[in-house]
Chains A and B, each alone.
Chain A
Amino acid sequence: MTVDSQGAVSAAPQDAPGSEAGTPKTPPPPSGSKHVLQPPRGRRSLPHGTLPYLLIGPAVLSMAVLLLYPLVRNVILSFQQVNRKELITRKPEWIGVENYTELLGDSAFWTVVVRSVVFTAANVVLIMVIGTLIGLLLNRLGTKMRLLLSLSLMLAWAMPIVASVTVFRWLFDEQFGVVNWLMRSLGLEGYEQHNWFETGFSTLVIVMILLVWGSIPFVALNMYAALTTVGTELYEAAKMDGASGWRTFWSVVFPNLKPFFLITTFLEIIWIFKAFAQVYAMNLGGPDRESETLPVFAYIEGQGQAHYGLAAAISVLTIVMLIAAMSFYFRLILKQEEEQ
């Protein structure tokens, strides 16, 4: 019996710590459940398995098909001789770097390179300056005028390229052009049949007017959007300090919008450098090949002259030049990140 009672007694204290332990154990569940909840969260931020690949798949695939594959074919093509005959018989001939040596030793190629670089620089400077000014104007205007100006900018921007080139061609037409008529109406001499496309230079100036006109909306609207992120208190502070408008721009607006200016400038460099339709459609690279920029040069050598391999080499060299320009941009970005 004692044994039994002992047993019963011993059983009780045995039970007691248990129940006692149970009480302290009860609070942990929340903390315990916290521990339990955390792993799934970790899993959510770093999922594994095939799902992420599946999700990223379409984007990677479309980029590979639309960008990588043509690029690889283009590079291959640049090492081959593919003229009209090879294209039609489908028998390209490997000629190593001959296309490249031919190009690099051709003074015509270097003329085009210099022309493209100068043309791009002139365009980008004009676009950035005028675009920024219009952006600042947008920021200052009242609602109605701002709407009107934004709308005009959008319309200029939405104009299809070839349509706008056609309009410009007609404006500057030698026989029936509005610009010649305008010059005559203003009483200026020598515009009876002035040929605006007489030289490569004047042709490129007209192309530049078109490109600047077409590109300003992008810069101006972005500039306006970026300006809205600059707090009014900064302007107020500048005003209190008696800063002039010029000083306010360089000390307040410009440092704040530096990333915006960087990315916009580099985007414009890329766009202008590779602008094809505007330059080609304006005067087909003429007169006497004097208004050819690199993409137009590639097109005329490739499609026009049916030297597809050579044209591929030109485009590869164009890519190399753009990458060189872009590396400058990436270095700036990296440097900025390090500073931060």
Chain B
Amino acid sequence: MKRKLIAAIGVAGMMVGIAACGSDDGKGGSTDAGGNKTLTVWVMDGSAPDAWIKNVNKEFEAKHKGVKVKVEIQQWNGIQEKVTTALSEDTPPDVLELGNTQTAGYAATGGLADLTEDKAKLGADGWNKGMLASNELDGKLYSAPWYAANRVVVYDKAAFKKAGVTPPKTRAEWIAGLKKLKASDPKSQPIYLPGQSWYVYAGFVWDEGGDLAVKDGDKWKGNLSSPEAVAAMNFYKELQSYSTAPKDKDEATPQQSTDIVPKGGVASWIGLGWEAGGAIDAMKKVKKTADFGYFPIPGKTADKPGSVFFGGSNLAVSERSPNKDLAKEWLALAAGKEHMAKYAEATQGALLPNNDAAQFKPAAGSFAEAMAQAASVGKITPVTPGWANVETAPNPIKDYMTKVLKGEDAKKAGEAADKVITERVNQQ
């Protein structure tokens, strides 16, 4: 509590009474008078299917008498601030989900329990090697991989049919298709692409063979002014010109899946599995039927789909959790092969489980099928503790994208962004 107070003071200071921050009720690891323990688990919005996690908790509570599992759903927006504060407190959540780009940053702070000794119990042998990398720092394991996912293009089958467009294989076909869509229905957007969808942009950078930041000696430096990143941004700009989406927003504000797509007038958009699901549900509510098709983001050539950000989440145990052993037990159960297989099934393969043996065979024409095609070219952001600092708001990559889309020179704006990225990525 004291730590939290200090943190609060840093921002509040004399400005008492202005920052009426919502206090987190995510106090975990409590033990009541009757010796009953509560295990608090933080999962992100869209990560854990309701029925699945209830099932896991039922099994866990049956095994451990007197223990109750409390699941608290968190929003991605502003999650880093929340996790940082929570980890500094005496009663952090016992288990928490962390984005794979952020895990190394928290591992470096000492806020996460070292799980290296528990590898066997957690079933580390069966883990997907590509997903493992983001969980480790300096040879130690700080979290268990949970799931991974990547974005695909979601399209409205009716709109594509009307324009006579079929799912493209190359960027050139993609742009040609968007032109046709524009011609067939000038009032709707061929693609909804907000200006700050930076994970999509990252994929284009990787397509060019570049990266967002590169190692320079034992330091890192921002790389948005490199020719590869500039070429990627120019393609993003071309693509974005087919959308009337705001240039200074990301895909979550307004939430493209539930606030934009159900309103209609969007022929295609780039999203994750849970977003596609959310859009289908939202459309049902307004008595519309979603007829979505899915295709991987086209690559520069037809032989390989476009690179995608291999987003995903890891599950970590907080260092200050009073119930660390119980937390590890829960982790082993939830991220274990058996429940991961059920997980893959519950998400219909739209989220890839941490264990290849738990894979779910996606149905033909489903989101998961399109996603699996692109998974082979999935990449993640630079694995270094400082990367998490780059992603904190205000994210320099997002501001950079907005500037270029509004007409600033990509190289010049890239240099300004690189300065910020270099400064942040080298901080601990």
Contact = CB atoms under 8 A, between A and B. Distances in A.
Interface of A: 66-67, 70-71, 73-74, 77, 82-85, 87-90, 174-175, 193, 195, 197-198, 274-277, 284-289, 295, 298-300, 302-306, 308-309, 311-312, 315-316, 318-319, 322
B110 A89 contact: yes
B428 A195 contact: no
Nearest to B400: A288
Given A88-B111, A300-B394, A306-B392, A82 B13 contact: no
A-B pairs with lowest CB-CB distance, top 8: A315-B13, A308-B10, A88-B111, A88-B109, A311-B10, A85-B109, A302-B11, A288-B399
A316 B403 contact: no
A295 B15 contact: yes
Given A88-B110, A306-B389, A312-B13, 11 more contacts: A70-B16, A73-B9, A82-B10, A193-B246, A195-B247, A277-B19, A286-B248, A295-B11, A298-B10, A300-B393, A312-B10
Nearest to A315: B13
A88 to B, nearest CB: 4
Contact of B14 (A87, A175, A284, A318): A318
B285 to A, nearest CB: 18
B428 A85 contact: yes
B7 A90 contact: no
Q: Tell me which of B6, B392, B394 has the highest count of chain A C-beta atoms within 10 A of its own C-beta.
A: B6
A303 B9 contact: no
B19 A299 contact: yes
A70 B16 CA distance: 9
Interface string B144-160: 00000000000000000
A83 B13 contact: no
Interface of B: 3, 5-16, 18-20, 80-81, 84, 87-88, 105, 108-111, 244, 246-248, 254, 389, 392-394, 399, 402-403, 406, 424, 427-428
Nearest to B20: A277
A83 B11 contact: no
Nearest to A298: B11
B248 A311 contact: no
A299 B402 CA distance: 23
Nearest to A85: B109
A312 B9 contact: yes
Nearest to B406: A198
Nearest to A273: B15
B13 A85 contact: no
A174 B246 contact: yes
A304 B394 contact: yes
Contact of A84 (B10, B109, B399): B109
A67 B16 contact: yes
B105 A84 contact: yes
Contact of B6 (A73, A197, A276): A73
B18 A295 contact: yes
Q: Tell me which of B10, B246, B393 has the highest count of chain A C-beta atoms within 10 A of its own C-beta.
A: B10
Contacts of B393: 284, 300, 304
A274 B10 contact: no
B14 A66 contact: no
Given A88-B84, A195-B248, A303-B81, A71 B13 contact: yes
A19 B8 CA distance: 82
A224 B368 CA distance: 66
Given A87-B88, A90-B3, A288 B394 contact: yes
Given A88-B88, A195-B246, A195-B248, A287 B402 contact: yes
A20 B87 CA distance: 93
